[in-house]
Amino acid sequence: MGGSVGRLALALALVLSCESAAAGELEDERAGCLVRTLTRDGKRGVSVSAECRWPVAAEQVISVLRSPECLEEVLSAVGENRALPDGRLFQVHTPGWPFADRQVTLEWREHYQGPEGRLRIDFSRASEQEPVAEGRVPVPVDEGRWEVEALAEHETALRYQVRYDAGGNLDPWLVERFQRGAVIRSLEEVRSRSETLPAVSTAPSTPPTDEAADPID
C-alpha cells in the first residue's frame, strides 16, 4: 500500500466500533462489492456489510477464508491469526503507530450448507479470552459473518457483515472516516489472493451437522 493514509485506512479495517441501530446509511460500489455503512448520530460506532460478486471460483475464496495462515498473510491489518488447540482463533489487530495493537480470541464456526461451494463462517468474541499481552488493548466486541455461494463455475457471491468495538480511546470520527475505504481494501485483498489460487475441493472431511444443514438467512 502506498502512503501513510493508505496504511492507516487498511489497518482500520479491523478497528471498527459498531452499534446495531443505525441513524444513517452510506453506500459505496467498489472491488465488485456494494458496501453499506450504517452510522449512529452522537455515538461511537459504524456497522459494515458488503455484498460482492466476483469472477472467481467459490472454492478459491473458501480456501482463503478457511486458512488462518492465509488470512494472516493476506490481511495487512492482522498481525497474528492462529488457531488454538480447542478450535478458538487468536487474533492481533495492528492499526499501526500511534495506535496500540488490539487482541481478541474468537469462536470461529464453519457451516457447510447444501452442495460444495456454499459456506457460512460465523465469528464472535469467545467467552474465554487468552491473556492480553502488555501494551495491547482487549477487543470488547467482534462478531460477524462471511457467506460464500457459488453462482457458476467461475463466479462467486460473497456476503460479509461485522460488528466491532475496538475498545480503548479511539476517537469516533477517526474510525468512521476511514472505515468504508478500509473494509473495501480488505475485501480487495481477499479477492486478489483468491484469484491466484488453484481451484481445489473444500468439502468438509466429516458430514455436516443438522445446524450446518440449515439454509443461509
The model's pLDDT over 155-189, given as tens digits with 9 standing for 90+, comes to 999 999 988 778 888 776 666 655 666 677 789 99
Which domains are seen in the chain, by residue range? 4-202 (3.30.530.20)
Q: Where is average pLDDT lowest: 9-13, 107-111, 134-138?
A: 9-13
CA distances from 205 to 5, 85, 95, 168, 182 (A): 43, 18, 36, 41, 34
Q: Which residue has the cell 451437522?
A: 209
Residues 111/116/117/119 CA torsion (nearest 10 deg): 0
Q: Which residue has the cell 473495501?
A: 184
Q: Which residue has the cell 460478486?
A: 53
Alpha-carbon Rg of the chain, whole angstroms?
A: 17
The dihedrals phi and psi of 46, each to the nearest 5 degrees, come to -145, 135
**In angstroms, how far apart are the furthest CA atoms of the chain?**
48
Its pTM surpasses 0.85:
no
Q: Where is average pLDDT lowest: 78-92, 143-157, 163-177?
A: 163-177
Q: List for the chain the helix, strand, coil content (%; round to 5).
A: 25, 35, 40
Residue ranges in the chain assigned as alpha helix (H): 4-11, 58-66, 68-74, 172-196, 210-213
Distance separating alpha carbons of residues 107 and 124, to the nearest angstrom: 5
Task: Give the list of residues 6+ apart from residue 196 with CB closer than 8 angstroms, or none.
Answer: none
State the average pLDDT for the chain. 77
Q: What is the pLDDT of residue 151?
A: 92
Q: Is the pLDDT of residue 215 over 50?
A: no
Name the DSSP class of 116.
T
Residue ranges in 75-171 assigned as alpha helix (H): none
- Of 13, 51, 58, 57, nearest to 32 (Cα)? 51
Q: What is the pLDDT of residue 128?
A: 97
Q: What is the pLDDT of residue 12?
A: 41
CA distances from 45 to 112, 120, 149, 151 (A): 31, 25, 29, 33
Strand 102-112 and strand 137-138: the pairing is parallel
Q: Is the pLDDT of residue 212 over 60?
A: no
